[in-house]
A = this chain, B = another copy of it.
Amino acid sequence: MRFTIRDVAKKANVSVSTVSHALNSTRYVKEETREKILKIADELKYKPSTIAQGLRKKSLETVAVFVPNISSQFFSQILIGINEVALKNNYHIIMANTFFNSEEEEKTLENLKNQFIDGAILVSGNDNVACIKKLKMENFPFVLIARDIDPDIPSILIDNFKATRNIVDYLVTMGHKRIGYVTMNFSGRKTVEDRFLGYKEGLEENNIKYNPDDVLVVDEAMIDEMAVSYRHCKKFFNNKVPTAIITATDNIAAGLYVALKENGFRIPDDVSVVGFDNLPISRFLDPPLTTMKQPKKLMGYKGMEILLDLINKKKLPDPVIKLETKIIERDSVKQII
């Protein structure tokens, strides 16, 4: 059996309020009584019940984080950032893995919102716009990471459009004129679509004709991203390859790498590849992958900070925060003379 504050009070011959105050230093308690109370609490190994405290304070100091798939380093890196800030502020994190299932996400969130959590971070996932606007209406504290839905909703983002456009520019600088693209299907994800649009815009600005035959839109759930990418790329890039291929994520690039090699292409001699995300693994692919960095930990960091501000009713300057990206040059792109 666990002891309660009443047990401590009885044993110390004081009232529960005195015990509470002594333990929380919320009002002055005579040194002598205080010590006595502390001693007894210690003897009984008394620990206040978090639930009871939560009921009074109407907070468990807990937030939920929704990610599509923790097995992807993109999400786990963001989680690490979130975790760091949470720890510092004595907040707990409920982890919800949605596998891109919006219904599941909505259901779990609905469930947790009932006082369990103070707020939520929704990382990526399908743009379940209706659900998210509803959240907003309810004034429930939440922030979006890597999810581009509404300029009025606190979001941590990069400029996906600009990022891929820059990649195209970069490749053009390196002499490439035929540039392919591999992406998961957009399925209502603006961030993913923006990358693709940036790609197209990049071509146009460089006077390269957009060629649908050079773009592969993988129409399959990207749970095991590398494997799915590999399977589709293997079929798609069998004899015709552009001189360079951009992928919507590093994980897709990893699958593409193997597919290309198995089909007899050398990277970057026969075909250059540029990824997106700069995952920790990307430097360990062969050849090390040139890629567009997203500041993943920072995104988590900022996201959690904003969420705490929201919970504490601080007002934010600007709901949408766009973070910097940059190209990390490694060895998967070849200069063409």
Contacts and interface: CB of A to CB of B under 8 A. Distances in A.
Interface of A: 2, 47-52, 54-55, 58, 60, 62, 65, 70-71, 73, 76-77, 79-80, 83, 87, 92-97, 104, 111-116, 224, 226-227, 230, 254-255, 257-258, 261, 280-281, 283-286, 288
A255 B284 contact: yes
9 contacts: A51-B115, A51-B116, A71-B76, A71-B80, A73-B73, A76-B76, A79-B95, A226-B281, A258-B286
B280 A226 contact: yes
Given A76-B71, A92-B94, A230 B280 contact: no
Given A77-B71, A254-B284, A92 B114 contact: no
A116 B51 CA distance: 6
A2 to B, nearest CB: 8
Contact of A92 (B54, B112, B115, B286): B112
A172 to B, nearest CB: 28
Contacts of A80: 70-71, 97
Most buried by B among A50, A60, A283, A288: A50
A251 to B, nearest CB: 9
**6 A-B pairs with the lowest CB-CB distances in the bound complex, closest first:** A95-B95, A286-B286, A50-B116, A49-B115, A47-B114, A71-B76
A281 B258 contact: no
Contact of A71 (B47, B50, B73, B224): B73
Nearest to A60: B51
A224 B79 CA distance: 15
Nearest to A115: B49
B280 A71 contact: yes
Given A51-B115, A70-B80, A281 B254 contact: yes
Given A65-B95, A71-B76, A258-B286, 19 more contacts: A50-B115, A50-B116, A51-B55, A54-B54, A70-B70, A70-B80, A71-B73, A80-B97, A92-B112, A93-B94, A224-B280, A226-B280, A226-B281, A226-B283, A227-B280, A254-B281, A257-B284, A285-B285, A285-B286
Contact of A281 (B94, B114, B116, B281): B281
A70 B300 CA distance: 14
A49 B114 contact: yes
Most buried by B among A48, A80, A255, A261: A80
